[in-house]
Amino acid sequence: MHPFTSAFLLLLAAHVIVQVWLARRQIMFVSTHRAAVPPGFAAVVSSVDHARAADYTAARQRLGIVETVYEAAIALWLTLGGGIASVGSIAADMSPSPLLAGTLQVLGVFGALAVLGLPFGIYRVFVLEQRFGFNRTRPATFVVDQLKGWALGLLLGGAVTACVLWIMATAGHAWWLLGWAAWLTFGLLATWAWPRLIAPLFNRFSPLQDEALRARVDALLARCDFRAKAVYVMDGSRRSAHGNAYFTGLGRAKRIVFFDTLLSSLTPPQVESVLAHELAHFKLRHIPQRLVFGAFASLGAFALLGWLAGQDWFYAALGVPRRTDAAALLLFLLVTPAFTWVISPLLAAWSRRHEYQADAFAARHSDAEALAAALVTLYKDNASTLTPDPLYSAFHDSHPPPAARIARLRGTAAPVAPRP
Ligand SMILES: [Zn+2]
């Protein structure tokens, strides 16, 4: 066996083992603390809510375990099992042009992944979310969403793939630099197009009507010296009872989007504090830092792909007998996650640092108590667990554990989770 095959198999196996182990820890920990609402939350979160959050967390983790194993099996089938190679020969029969055949191969593999992932999507929405009372998606909406998503994937994915494959075939040795530049350009275009052209395909966006809330939002933006073009309300309730708020767009054309579900569950001061938190991610330059990190990470990825694509062993070790640009691209996209998962705890820790900083900013420019109350309401409404396993949380969570986060906002020490 080629050493690279062994390394891939070893890291993929380690990935599955660590994910399953962490998920099982999370299920155990949450179940152990199912009966007792942690101190500081008991005033808002009832023991029924708390138990429901524990059951919801455990159900999602169980589904996640099955999905992790399933995805690893698919990755094995596509690589060592010859899946990529088979799709490649079908694509080559369909088109004499290597560029078109390569694009068809990439689209074919991603199409297969989308179809194979569909049972999980259906189960998640219509069984899991349904059972816990979150689902609002009708089957017809689900089908239309899938069709739109696939059409977009075909159009945008096809364009990017064809562009990268063309650069690989024509730009010579340093193609990866040009490929990276094209990738960044596409990212910018997508950021521009998302709020204008893509998001409206799935949701309705209407300007914020509530005058009092609008005045609060404007006052906050003025206080923080922040320019945003518009404030919208999105009909998130069409699909789910989960609430959220986000910023979108570039430069001065930024938009603020509130889910209608968020506005219906929070008071105006709480909405303002949540917005102050989101705003902090811009004012504290978290978003630019992430963009710069992403740009450098993708440069590294393209450089690595540029080198790997020229190595015959890269193809042979991963189940592809013939060297083609499309196969290099596919192998790279499918195999790198088996290696990069080891740095995900670092990224999660970085994100949690940003969350604490954004909370502190919101406390300075808005109201710490309102944000704490808003978060507790959101934890309750979204059935988020208040008692995550510390190790699971350290590895996966982009946001700090609820008890620590609320304690910091209220200026008290984080209470230790009680033993039942
Ligand atoms: Zn945040």
Mean pLDDT of 140-154: 93
Residue 132 alpha carbon to ligand 1 centre in Å: 25
How far is ligand 1, taken at its centre, from the CA of residue 286, in Å? 10
For ligand 1, the distance from its centroid to the CA atom of residue 263, given in whole angstroms, is 17
**Distance in angstroms (rounded) separating the CA atoms of residues 155 and 159:** 6
Q: In terms of pLDDT, which residue wins out, 40 or 80? A: 80
User: How far away, in angstroms, is 278 Cα from ligand 1 center?
Assistant: 6
Return the pLDDT at 225: 87
What are the pLDDT digits (tens) for 237-263?
888 888 788 877 776 678 888 999 889
Query: What are the phi and psi torsion angles at 181 (to 5°)?
Result: -60, -40
Query: Which value, in Å, is the radius of gyration of the alpha carbons in the chain?
Result: 23
Ligand 1 center to 86 CA (angstroms): 43
C-alpha of residue 235 to centroid of ligand 1, in Å: 21
How far away, in angstroms, is 400 Cα from ligand 1 center?
A: 10
Instruction: Give whole-number Cα distances, 275 to 6, 233, 236, in Å.
Output: 48, 13, 17
- With a pLDDT cut of 90, the percent of the chain lying above it is 73
Q: What is the distance in A from the centroid of ligand 1 to the CA of 137?
A: 26
* CA 277–ligand 1 middle distance (angstroms): 6
> What are the tens digits of pLDDT across the range 327-367?
999 999 999 988 999 999 999 999 999 999 999 999 999 99
* 349 Cα: distance to centroid of ligand 1 (angstroms): 13
Over residues 168-174, the mean pLDDT reads 91
Residues 74-110 pLDDT 10s: 999 999 999 999 999 999 999 889 899 999 999 999 9
Give pLDDT, residue 414. Answer: 53
d(CA 355, ligand 1 centre) in Å:
5
CA of residue 99 to ligand 1 center, whole Å: 42
How many angstroms separate the alpha carbon of residue 386 from the centre of ligand 1? 17
Which two structure tokens, joined as six digits, stand for 194?
């998302």
Residues 6+ apart with CB under 8 A from 66: none
What's the pLDDT tens digit per position in 103-134? 999 999 999 999 999 999 999 999 999 999 89
Contacts of residue 117, defined as CB under 8 A and 6 or more positions apart, other chains included, come to: none
Distance (angstroms) between ligand 1 centre and the Cα of 90 equals 45
Quick one: how far is CA 240 from the chain centroid? 17
Residue 420 has pLDDT above 50, yes or no: no
pLDDT at 282: 87
Ligand 1 centroid, distance to 22 Cα (angstroms)? 24
Q: What is the mean pLDDT of residues 314-324?
A: 92
Q: From ligand 1's centre to the CA of 257, what distance in Å? A: 14
Structure tokens at 363: 């406390």
How far apart CA 148 and CA 158 sit, in angstroms, is 15
Q: Distance, CA 395 to ligand 1 centroid (Å)? A: 18
Tell me the CA–centroid distance for residue 266 and ligand 1, in Å. Answer: 17
Q: pLDDT at position 418, please?
A: 47
Q: What angle (nearest 5°) sits at the alpha carbon of residue 184, between those of residues 182 and 188?
A: 115
Centre of ligand 1 to C-alpha 184, Å, is 24
Beta bridge partners of 247: 256
**Confidence check: pLDDT of 415 > 60:** no
The vertex-375 CA angle with 370 and 379, nearest 5°, equals 150
- How far, in Å, is the centroid of ligand 1 from the Cα of 274? 9
Report how far ligand 1's centroid is from the alpha carbon of 343 (Å).
Answer: 21
Give me the pLDDT at residue 419, please: 46
341/18 Cα distance (integer angstroms): 10
Residue 417 has pLDDT above 60, yes or no: no
Q: In the predicted model, is pLDDT for residue 214 greater than 70?
A: yes
How high is the pLDDT of residue 413?
55
Q: Quick check: 297 pLDDT over 70?
A: yes
- Give the residue from 242, 223, 216 showing the smallest Cα distance to 231: 216
- In the reported structure, the alpha carbon of residue 320 is separated from the centroid of ligand 1 by a whole-number distance in angstroms of 42
With contact defined as beta carbons under 8 Å apart, do 7 and 338 qualify?
A: no
pTM of the model: 0.88
How confident is the model at residue 241, as a pLDDT?
Answer: 81
Cβ < 5 A residues, ion ligand 1: 355, 358
Reading the block at residue 40, the tokens are: 């500081």
What's the gap in Å between 281 CA and the centre of ligand 1? 7
Angle between helix axes 211-223 and 268-283 (nearest 10 degrees) is: 30
CA of 294 to the centre of ligand 1 (A): 18
Q: Which parts of 33-174 fold into alpha helices (H)?
A: 47-78, 83-94, 98-123, 130-131, 139-152, 158-170
| pLDDT reading at 190 higher than 80 | yes
In the reported structure, the alpha carbon of residue 146 is separated from the centroid of ligand 1 by a whole-number distance in angstroms of 29
Mean pLDDT along residues 268-284: 92
Residue 292 in this model has a pLDDT that exceeds 70: yes
What distance in angstroms lies between residue 174's CA and the mean position of ligand 1's atoms?
A: 38
pLDDT at site 412: 67
Distance 276 CA to ligand 1 centre (A): 10
